[in-house]
Amino acid sequence: MDKIEVEGIKNLKGNIQISGSKNSSLPILASSLLIDDEMVISNIPNLSDIKFMIKILESLGSKVNFKNSICKIKPNQPRNLKISYELVRKMRASFLILGPLLTKYGYAEVSLPGGCAIGTRPVDLHISALEKMGAEFIIEDGYIKGKVKGRLKGCEITLKKISVGATENIIMAATLADGETIIKNAAREPEISDLSNFLVDSGAEIDGYGTNVIKIKGKKRLRGCEFSVMPDRIEAGTYALCVMGCSGNIILENVNDLICNHLKKIFKPLNVLFLSKKDNGKKLVIKRTNRFQNNVTISTKEFPGFPTDLQAQLIASLVKSEGKSVIKENIFENRFMHVSELRRMGANLKQKGSKIIIDGVKDIYGAEVMATDLRASSSLIIAGLMASGKTIVNRVYHLDRGYENLEEKLRNCGVKIRRFS
Ligand code: UD1
């Protein structure tokens, strides 16, 4: 199993090319099942989660060619309509296949995701919405088996909790359903808008994405298109928090105006981190100087709030600030697996329910630590950059799910980092 060794650094300096968004690429790849012709999707990051999704598409008969961030997909009539436990266990986003298969082929068998490292993460919202559209489900041998008589029927669905994945599954299912579907209390994440833009380019009729009411008029068929995936705002935010943790001056390249504005807004309370747009928002300059006084209170929230996917990295970046900060996790239970590892490096962190209280310390120290999930892994890398001495992060396969060329990108900013097994 691969490990990463990283040395502490005082000032990050350099340029980082931000990759295409993982959380946008995954539903877009899943939605390729809805489309009849060949499509070309660019700016797809080379990550293990993406490779899983491609494996799923191939197991369903699609011909996929993925090279140099470009994915060419030629859909085919699936040989079978089953996604095995092996694939869903490794990546929960496999569940995004359910909506497309049911609406296009009238049948799907998908292994239930089960528990995972960041809480129980149920799928009830996906299932009840598809049931309302006319699908029938049974659970057998750990699989959820769904079937539809004729076509799914458009209807009004009010999500009782905001869910990114459920919103995406419903949008995809609705594009080929009979009539209009209205999703109320929909998630507003930019990745949902990216998926919707891809589907609209493929001939779908979708309105209101980016707001909490989305309307989709079902079509008989969707055609192929060429599309470029948006940049990864979580990857961009992670590198910004590297600068927050150890100071420096970096330029993020290949971002967009929306990401610049979003990061500027969510990082505003971190009043020593300065973000400024360049080249009409295609680049974002990130700066921080000196050790800092900071008493921050931040809670995670759905978009446009502070993303839960940056919570672990935020905590790491604040462990050496002067003062007391409070970070509250509102989206997932049990998303604090990184906290005990950060403590092992000398961080002073206390947990009170869904809050972490950070009492800044003068220094933290390199140690051998264990990555437990994707974002926990990047928080340990940030801590490693801030620590004196060397840090060894174990189980970096978690990191490879969401960060393309992380070592190379950090090396370009002066970091001493290496991978070994
Ligand atoms: C997506 C992102 C993930 C991010 C999360 C929240 C992808 C591939 N993953 O995950 O990185 O952390 O959004 O921004 O895009 N819930 C239910 N019932 C359901 C579905 C969800 O109760 O049927 C709950 C979840 O347990 C959680 C909350 O709703 O508490 C939000 O989850 P959701 O937005 O669905 O997350 P994902 O789509 O799985």
Known active-site residue 116: yes
Closest-lying ligand 1 atom to the alpha carbon of residue 168: 38
Going by their DSSP bridges, the two strands 135-140 and 143-148 should be labelled as: antiparallel
Res 89: pLDDT: 77
CB of 345 closer than 6 A to ligand 1? no
CB of 373 closer than 6 A to ligand 1? no
- Residue minimizing CA distance to atom 32 of ligand 1: 163
Has residue 114 got a pLDDT over 60? no
CA 312, CA 316: separation in Å to the nearest integer?
6
Phi-psi region of 129 (alpha: psi -120 to 50; beta: other; left: phi over 0): alpha
Tokens of 172: 């995809």
Dist. CA 166 → ligand 1 center (Å): 8
Closest-lying ligand 1 atom to the alpha carbon of residue 123: 23
- Residue minimizing CA distance to atom 31 of ligand 1: 163
CB of 125 closer than 6 A to ligand 1? yes
Ordered by start, the domain boundaries in the chain are: 3-17+231-420, 22-228
Has residue 295 got a pLDDT over 90? no
CATH T-level fold of 3-17+231-420 = UDP-n-acetylglucosamine1-carboxyvinyl-transferase; Chain (3.65.10)
Give the confidence band of 158 by pLDDT, cuts at 50, 70, 90: very high
CB of 160 closer than 6 A to ligand 1? no
CB of 332 closer than 6 A to ligand 1? yes
CATH T-level fold of 22-228 = UDP-n-acetylglucosamine1-carboxyvinyl-transferase; Chain (3.65.10)
Q: What is the distance, to the nearest Å, from the Cα of residue 162 to the centroid of all Cα atoms in its chain?
A: 16
The residues, any chain, with a CB within 8 Å of residue 163's CB and separated by 6 or more, are 125, 126, 187
pLDDT tens for each residue of 29-87: 999 999 999 999 999 999 999 999 999 999 999 999 999 999 999 999 888 899 888 88
Tokens of 241: 């928090």
Dist. CA 27 → ligand 1 center (Å): 13
With pLDDT > 70 as the criterion, what percentage of the chain qualifies?
A: 97
Dist. CA 164 → ligand 1 center (Å): 6
CB of 55 closer than 6 A to ligand 1? no
98, 163, 302, 331, best to mutate for ligand 1 pocket (most atoms within 8 Å of CB):
163
- Residue minimizing CA distance to atom 9 of ligand 1: 23
CA 341, CA 367: separation in Å to the nearest integer?
9
CA 82, CA 144: separation in Å to the nearest integer?
10
- Reduce the DSSP state of residue 163 to 3 states and report it: coil
CB of 124 closer than 6 A to ligand 1? yes
Res 212: pLDDT: 97
- Residue minimizing CA distance to atom 26 of ligand 1: 121
> Which stretches of 45-90 are DSSP H helices?
48-59, 85-90
Has residue 376 got a pLDDT over 70? yes
Tokens 């921050």 label which residue? 296
Domains 3-17+231-420 and 22-228 share a fold: yes
CB of 165 closer than 6 A to ligand 1? yes
What is the helix (H) or strand (E) element at residue 120, kind and residue range?
none
Question: Model's pTM, two decimal places?
Answer: 0.97
What is the helix (H) or strand (E) element at residue 150, kind and residue range?
none
Q: Which of 71, 116, 225, 260 is catalytic?
A: 116
Res 115: pLDDT: 45
pLDDT tens for each residue of 237-283: 999 999 999 999 999 999 999 999 999 999 999 988 999 999 999 99
